[in-house]
Copies of this chain bind each other. A is one copy, B any other.
Amino acid sequence: MKAIIQTDPGDPTSLTWQDTPTPTPADGEVLLRITTAGVNRADTLQAQGHYPPPKGDTDIIGLEASGVIEDANGCVRPDGTPWYAGDEVGALLSGGGYAEYVAVPAGQLLPVPSGYSLTDTASVVEVACTVWSNLMMTAEVRKDDLVLIHGGGGGVGLFAIQVTKALGAQVAVTAGSEEKLEVCRNYGADVLINYREDDFVEAVKEEGGADVILDIIGAKYLNKNVSALAKDGHIVIIGMQGGVKGELNIGKLLSKRGNISATGLRYRERADKARIVAATVEHVWPLLENGTIRHHIDRVVPVQDAAGAHQALLAGDITGKIVLAVE
C-alpha cells in the first residue's frame, strides 16, 4: 500500500506518500481501507518527535480515519453481530490513519452516524471520544453544573461546548479574541471570557465557581484553575500548551475538596478504548444524528499534502477540521 512516511525523523515536513507494507490484521482486528483521515494537533507533535506511538504500534501518523472494511477477519460488533467486508465505518486509531489501509481493533470501530458522510465521520471520531471520555467518564458533568472550557474556540472546545449544553449544564469559555468568543456563543456558550483582557478566575467565581474545568493549558493555569473551582469540583487536564510543571496549592485544593485528573486517549489499553468508543457511540452519535452537535470541516486536502495540512494547522488559520482524502 501507500502511506505517509516521515522520511527524515528530524524534519517534520518530510511527509512523503510512498510504498510501505500493507498491515496484516491480528486476531480481533479488521483491515480497513481508508477513504479519509482526520488531522489532529497531536499529529504535528508526532512529526516533531514529541509524541511517539504506543510501543508495538505503527509509526505512521493519524489518530482517526473512516473507510470501508476490506477484511472483517471474523470480528463482531459490541452487540455480537458480525462486521462484514464492505461496511462503512469510522475508526479511533493509535496511529496509521495517513495510509491506504490500517488494522483496527474491532472495539475501536464506530458506525457512520446517519446523515453523515465518511469524510464527516473521520473528522469527529477523535474529538467526540476525547470530549465524552473527559466530560462524562472522568468528570461526570451533571445537569446545572458550570463547566469552564479553556480554548472554547478550538476544535475540542467547540465540540465540548455543545456536549455540555446537551447535558443540561452551563458553559463558560476562554478564548483570545472577540471573534472566537462570538463563535463560542453561537455554539451555546453562556459566559464568554477573553483571556487576554479579563481574569477568568474572577469571571467564573462571580458565577459561583466551576464544577468542572476542561483544561488544555496545564502548568500556567494550574493554580488559577484551582482558584476558579467550586466545592467538590474537578479539573481535567488534556493539554499542556502552557507548560508541564506548575505549583499546586494543596491547601486551596483541600479547602474545596477538589479533584485533578490528567488524561489522554492514545496510550490507553484496548479494552479501555473500546469502553470509550462504545459510550461515545451510545451518547454522542445520537446528538450528531439529530443535529444537536454541529461540526465544521475547514478543508479537505489530498493525503499527499499531509505536510501542507500540518503547516496550515500550525499557522493557526483553521476554523474547524482539516481532513485528508485518501481516495
State how many angstroms separate the Cβ of A214 from the closest Cβ of chain B: 14
* Measured CA separation A240–B249 after assembly (Å): 11
Q: Using Cβ atoms and an 8 Å threshold, which residues of chain B touch A263?
A: 254, 257
State how many angstroms separate the Cβ of A120 from the closest Cβ of chain B: 29
Interface size on A, residues (CB 8 A): 28
Q: Using Cβ atoms and an 8 Å threshold, which residues of chain B touch A249?
A: 244-245
- How many copies the complex holds: the figure is 2
B257 touches A259 (CB 8 A): no
B259 touches A240 (CB 8 A): no
- Any B CB within 8 A of the CB of A218: yes
Q: Using Cβ atoms and an 8 Å threshold, which residues of chain B touch A244?
A: 249-251
Which of B222, B247, B257, B268 makes the CB contact (< 8 A) with A257?
Answer: B268
* Measured CA separation A255–B218 after assembly (Å): 13
A257 touches B261 (CB 8 A): yes
Q: Using Cβ atoms and an 8 Å threshold, which residues of chain B touch A257?
A: 261-264, 267-268
Which of B218, B243, B251, B268 makes the CB contact (< 8 A) with A240?
Answer: B251
Instruction: Offer 25 A-B interface pairs, CB within 8 angstroms, sorted by A.
Output: A218-B250, A219-B250, A237-B254, A244-B250, A244-B251, A245-B247, A245-B248, A245-B250, A245-B251, A246-B247, A246-B248, A247-B248, A253-B260, A253-B262, A254-B264, A255-B264, A256-B262, A257-B263, A257-B264, A257-B267, A257-B268, A258-B261, A258-B262, A259-B259, A259-B260
Partner-B contacts on A (CB < 8 A): 218-219, 222, 237, 240, 243-251, 253-264, 267-268
